Structure 1
């Protein structure tokens, strides 16, 4: 998977540097079990890591990493376990797919970042592993370089839940069926919801309005990431999506589109409508979604 920094290095140098540290470099290091890649990204003195235990109640949070050495040991342990799983996708592709870092607040030489993990990965045996939590990082700028001074992690993605993926809002009727040539979608869904989150059509466009991606695979990945980013602002994720509309420029790219699309949705997959249509020059696909969430 192509790694693209959503922040412009010329116009938004600080945010671009923070994203590179906490998403690109951290993911590459974790996937390769290589602490050396990230060892200089921390402020050793006064470092503290808090484990949220996937609970929204702060009374249940614990200082699990009072120093960097303890965090390093846990980081390496988790990296080894992750690398040894029999994933269908490459570990680095999984990490980039499920990691989102769009909210960054900077005040002087201090920064607060919300890194979110949302999605799932599939093992060769068919087991699907959910990613559904967030970490809040505290960073400080030292000699023109941003470093991590601490974090509060393993927090539920949605403060109203325990943090693990569930599917309470949509079910597929047991008697529903579809033709054998159907793609990765459900023919029928029953939706139980308190709130509906609707996002406008998203495309492979960055914050500065630039169209990214040279082919249907790259544009589909980036478009879906933009969809997830918008869903997360409304307290939803791909797991909550029940309806998808796809607008594709060339229907000949349909099979290639589906290869990427199905990696982002677990069962029951959303119902879906797709049409071939004209799009803004340079765009190959546009996607809009409806999601159901409970209070």
Structure 2
């Protein structure tokens, strides 16, 4: 099955040897999105809610570039550097997704690229 990279200037460019997302058939696999401003390439200033919103906005932009929307996402992986901020992350996610919600895992990690406090990856099914 051919793999097609997905790219958009409305989300940050990859900071390593990877694609923003890759489409294989009707499934799109997203790389992790951290709260980078797509224009400056810098982490947005602010608390976990500001960072989560920026990361979800980046995810949304890549989903649209792939021909879908957040409604087509079937799974998300959330990575936080402090599980004590779990409630704030849940509240932000509820701003972006409606029932039926995607499947999800949330994992506390010791560090994220560029000092981010939040990262999200996803799988989307089109069609």
Please indicate the TM-score interval, normalised by the length of the shorter structure. 0.7 to 0.9
- Residue 206 of structure 1 corresponds to 37
Query: In structure 2, what is the Cα distance between the partners aligned to 1:280 and 1:232?
Result: 24
Aligned pairs for 1:20-39 (under 5 A) are none
Query: In structure 2, what is the Cα distance between the partners aligned to 1:213 and 1:260?
Result: 16
Do the aligned residues in 2 keep the contact of 1:197 with 1:236 (CA within 8 Å)?
no
Query: Secondary structure in 2 aligned to 1:213?
Result: coil
- Count of residues in correspondence between the two structures: 103
Query: Which entry has the higher C-alpha Rg, 1 or 2?
Result: 1
Per the TM alignment, residue 210 of structure 1 is displaced from its structure 2 partner at its CA by 0.5
Match 2:115 to one of 282, 288, 292: 282
Match 2:67 to one of 232, 235, 242: 235
- Residue 73 of structure 1 corresponds to none
Do the aligned residues in 1 keep the contact of 2:43 with 2:114 (CA within 8 Å)?
no
Per the TM alignment, residue 213 of structure 1 is displaced from its structure 2 partner at its CA by 2.9
Query: Secondary structure in 1 aligned to 2:115?
Result: coil
Query: Secondary structure in 2 aligned to 1:210?
Result: coil
**Considering only aligned residues, what root-mean-square deviation do their CA atoms show, in Å?**
1.5
- Residue 260 of structure 1 corresponds to 92
Query: In structure 1, what is the Cα distance between the partners aligned to 2:83 and 2:43?
Result: 20
Q: Which runs of 5+ in 1 are unaligned?
A: 1-100, 103-193
Per the TM alignment, residue 246 of structure 1 is displaced from its structure 2 partner at its CA by 0.6
> Highest relative contact order (Cα 8 Å, sep 6+), 1 or 2?
2
What's the CA shift string for 1:76-114, capped at 9, x where partnerless?
A: xxxxxxxxxxxxxxxxxxxxxxxxx94xxxxxxxxxxxx
- Please list every run of at least 4 consecutive aligned residues from structure 1 whose deviation after the TM superposition is greater than 2 angstroms: none
Per the TM alignment, residue 280 of structure 1 is displaced from its structure 2 partner at its CA by 2.5
- Residue 46 of structure 1 corresponds to none
Match 1:223 to one of 48, 55, 69: 55
